[in-house]
Amino acid sequence: MSGKVPPRLLESLVFTKLGTYDPAVLVGPAVGEDAAIIDLGNGSALVVHNDAISGASTLLGWLAVHIVANDVATRGVKPRWFLMTLFLPENASPSLLENIMSQVDSAARELEMMVVGGHTETTPGLERPLVGTTAIGVAPLNQVVSTKGARVGDFVILTKYAGIEGTAVICTDFCHLLVERGVPREVIEKGSRLVQRVSVVPEALALAEKRLATAMHDPTEGGVLGGAAELAYASKKTLELWADKVPILNETRAVTEALGLDPLKLISSGTLIATVPASRVDEAIEVVKNLNLEASVVGRVKEWNGHLVELIKGGTVTHVDDVYVADELFKLWKN
């Protein structure tokens, strides 16, 4: 199956082979955690996240920057530095490299980040370019937010809409398929422009600055449902998720219905999941809306009851017990 390696393999084959223990590492590799947190010993924390982009092609450079920047921002830390390892097909033209790097440059300038290193090569056997990326930031240690901090009684807030990144990728890399399925051109064009909304840096930093979020998570692979499962796993809680309250754009509904995909399982960079104490929910919503962004209450945090997520839709409850939810986008690439 495409996508993330199952937790049992990570725990047995990866997390047991991490080199020399360093007590300065407060949060290291862990299922559901967005970024490493390292105590610099002077009241500051170094926050580092590494990721890869394998489910997009046309928008590769833009997403390469924003996806890792989001994961640093969910710690409540402004991303400052960026590194990228870029693997190009053997027959790649210089124009492909130029296009990718132009996107990287634009995204980094938007976030006021600097590209400080990386590696670029042509690699045998590739059909499309792939990237591995790293973002780094520094902030006061007492301001850093973890994914595992959700508390019983917290409400779950979702910013913007489910499936933002996935919709943009589908409308660019699979435009021909959508046309074949009868999706109007104007819907496809509007969906492709959603790539401009994949950053959660503004709302994540604003919620952290006001100390409103007990936990934050960037729901990438596996979409909103996968993000909720990972946050629940990290926090050792059960998340009750109200499917009918999750906002979904008309463009996302159009493309997912045409292709038979579930929008709640569609990669969702641009959406932020945050848990907020019940007494501060209205304040959190107001903070996000002051940024001219949308925010919705879509669930609540409960004591662990044996399930990661209780998905409630139309009066029916579906239990999610696997921390990794297969992303709908991989179905398209596989086919």
SS (H, E, C) the chain: CCCCCCHHHHHHHHCCCCCCCCCCEEECCCCCCCCEEEECCCCEEEEEEEEEECCCCCCHHHHHHHHHHHHHHCCCCCCCEEEEEEEEECCCCHHHHHHHHHHHHHHHHHCCCEEEEEEEEEECCCCCCEEEEEEEEEEEHHHCCCHHHCCCCCEEEEECCCCHHHHHHHHHHCHHHHHHCCCCHHHHHHHHHHHHHCCCHHHHHHHHHCCCCCEEECCCCCHHHHHHHHHHHHHCCEEEEEHHHCCCCHHHHHHHHHHCCCHHHCCCCCCCEEEECHHHHHHHHHHHHCCCCCEEEEEEEECCCCCCEEEEECCEEEEECCCCCCCCHHHHHHC
pLDDT single digits (tens) 294-310: 999 999 999 999 999 99
Q: Do domains 7-143 and 147-334 have the same CATH topology?
A: no
Mean pLDDT of 177-204: 96
Is the pLDDT at 50 greater than 60, yes or no?
Answer: yes
Is the pLDDT at 3 greater than 70, yes or no?
Answer: no
Mean pLDDT of 75-81: 97
pLDDT single digits (tens) 53-71: 876 778 899 999 999 999 9
Mean pLDDT of 13-32: 92
Domain ranges of the chain: 7-143, 147-334
Is residue 129 within 8 A of residue 95, CB to CB? The reply is no
Is the pLDDT at 1 greater than 50, yes or no?
Answer: no
Instruction: Confirm whether pTM is higher than 0.85.
Output: yes
pLDDT single digits (tens) 216-259: 999 988 999 999 999 999 999 999 999 999 999 999 999 999 99
Label residue 109 by pLDDT band (50, 70, 90): very high
**Bridge-partner residues for 180, per DSSP?**
none
Could you say which of 3.30.1330.10, 3.30.360.10, 3.40.50.12780, 2.40.128.260 is the CATH number of the domain covering 7-143?
A: 3.30.1330.10
78: left (phi over 0), alpha (psi -120 to 50) or beta: beta
CB atoms within 10 A of CB 224: 31
Is the pLDDT at 34 greater than 80, yes or no?
Answer: no
pLDDT single digits (tens) 171-180: 998 999 999 9
Q: Which amino acid is at 329?
A: L
Is the pLDDT at 2 greater than 70, yes or no?
Answer: no
Mean pLDDT of 266-292: 97
When the pLDDT of each residue in the chain is averaged and rounded to a whole number, the result is 94
Cα angle, residue 295 at apex, residues 291 and 299 outer, rounded to 5° = 155
CATH topology of domain 147-334: Phosphoribosyl-aminoimidazole Synthetase; Chain A, domain 2 (3.90.650)
Share of the chain above pLDDT 90, in %: 85
Distances (CA, A) of 205 to 161, 216, 228, 298: 18, 10, 20, 20
Mean pLDDT of 121-137: 94
**52-61, 76-85, 114-123, 297-306: lowest mean pLDDT where?**
52-61
Is the pLDDT at 189 greater than 70, yes or no?
Answer: yes
pLDDT for position 333: 77
